[in-house]
Amino acid sequence: MSMKFRSLLSRSFSTSSLLSRQTTNQFLVTVRDFSDPDCINRRLSVREAHLTEAKKNYANKLISKPGALVDDSGKMVGSMIIYNLDSKEEVLEALKKDVYTSSKVWDLSTAQIDQFKTPNF
């Protein structure tokens, strides 16, 4: 992991200097929640903290298009996020720092991290 990224993580992506951060890589991430019946309660109990950080990361262009994955009944069962970072390793480190991981909401063993490219229209 680069020193630059480690420094960014230690500041929880909240510094204004990130506005000028340039990266050429985008990663589509899906991660499922743990399947135990209490997971939805853990998710809801830390959701505001998760959204607060997500809003900062969105404003700083570190993520885009975040959202919850839902089952057929509309229950949240995971997340989808596009990360704008330099490597899969940096994405994984960002996932590990999220309150959904430390609160046992996200099951990181289910994380799918795929780099993709968008066309220039």
> Does a structural domain hold residue 8?
no
CATH number at residue 43: 3.30.70.1060
Q: Tens digit of pLDDT for each residue in 23-69?
A: 579 999 999 999 999 999 999 999 999 999 999 999 999 999 899 99
Average pLDDT for residues 75-99, to the nearest whole number? 97
> Does a structural domain hold residue 56?
yes
**Whole-number pLDDT of residue 2:** 57
Long-range contacts of 113-116 (CB under 8 A, 24+ apart): 113/27, 113/28, 113/29, 113/88, 114/27, 114/28, 114/29, 115/25, 115/26, 115/27, 115/28, 115/88, 116/26, 116/27, 116/28
Average pLDDT for residues 97-111, to the nearest whole number? 98
Question: The domain containing residue 29 runs over which residues?
Answer: 22-116
**Whole-number pLDDT of residue 5:** 52
Nearest in space to 13 (alpha carbons), one of 113, 83, 81: 83
> Does a structural domain hold residue 43?
yes
Structural domain count, the chain: 1
User: Could you count the other beta carbons within 10 Å of the beta carbon of residue 78?
Assistant: 21
